[in-house]
Amino acid sequence: MDTFVQQLINGLTIGSIYALIALGYTMVYGILRLINFAHGDIYMVGAYAGFILATSLGFASEPSAFGFVVTLVGSMAIAAAIGMAIERFAYRPVRKFSKMTTLITAIGMSLLIEYLFVFIFSGTPRSFPQLLPNSNITLFGNATISTSQILIFAVSILLMILLQWIIFKTKIGKAMRAVSFNINSAKLMGINTDFVIAFTFALGSALAAAGGVLTAQYNPKIEPLMGIMTGLKAFVAAVLGGIGNIPGAVLGGLLIGAAETLVVGYGSTIGIPSTYRDAVAFAILIIVLLVRPAGLLGSNVQEKV
């Protein structure tokens, strides 16, 4: 039993990161019907922004809550600005063209970010500094939870609640819902749709950057291509929950994370090697597309972004 609990805790930890990234995918798709393949790389950009902030401001040598908060918020702000720049200079000029054009632009932007970072930082992995002391807390038996995992749960839940508040309780959130419902009607009603779309990119990018910094605290190794597989799994999570649906993105992320670690823990008992952990997400994607193409919550929630 304690092994199952341990695997579940590990899975939900990873799933929380997937959920943060999946929220960006689902918000952009909800508004533009665009799959932003560069979004996984923003997760990597956030981790590197946190690394630069932590080392240049001296937080790496003296772990503290203040240093962690400054690093987290700073990396989210940097990623938000980069997300807005990508929208302004890469996606907005081709928005009026076909969806295939925007899709190819997204793939090109993803490759540009990845290899720009390889050129600047080289492909060698770097060690991310520990910004907060880490220790294990025993739950029962051999099951433990680390303070890094508690931090991931706490920050993820806080950011998801903040996102729900922005979308459902603020004026800009109301505009986002209006644009997602019908962009042309929203424009006729006087909504600055360009600003709303740029804000959506900024919001999604900030969440992905938070995921990057939190992951680096849990697994302190960053490299320029770290966003490829994580971004793909987060995209699968968004599709699993019902892309365009915010609660669905969270649910999908947690399910993908849990499934992945349970395969590692118990897959060998049913003939599935632990090395197949990455294949699980894509197997789930195929099954969902065959059985329920709209995703688990795709047809049950009316309000979406």
Q: What is the pLDDT of residue 213?
A: 95
DSSP letter, residue 133: -
For the chain, report the end-to-end CA distance as a whole number of angstroms: 39
Element (H, E) at 276: none
DSSP letter, residue 274: G
Q: What is the pLDDT of residue 145?
A: 92
DSSP letter, residue 267: G
Residue 218 phi, psi (nearest 5): -80, -45
By three-state DSSP, how is residue 136 classified? strand
How many angstroms from the chain centroid is the CA of residue 246?
12
pLDDT tens digits in sequence order for the chain, 305 residues long: 778 888 899 999 999 999 999 999 999 998 888 889 899 999 999 999 999 999 999 888 888 899 999 999 999 999 999 999 999 999 999 988 888 898 899 999 999 999 999 999 998 999 999 988 888 888 877 888 999 999 999 999 999 999 999 999 999 999 999 999 899 999 999 999 999 999 999 999 999 999 999 999 998 999 999 999 999 999 999 998 888 788 889 999 999 999 988 888 887 777 777 778 888 888 888 888 888 888 888 754 444 44
pTM score over 0.85: yes
By three-state DSSP, how is residue 291 classified? helix
Cα–Cα distance between 115 and 118 in angstroms, integer? 5
Burial 277-299 (b: 16+ CB within 10 A, else e): beebbeebbeebeeeeebbbbbe
Measured over the CA atoms of residue 98, residue 101, residue 102 and residue 104, the dihedral's sign is positive
The answer to whether the CB of 28 falls within 8 A of the CB of 42 is: no
Name the residue among 24, 78, 19, 52 with its Cα closest to residue 216.
52
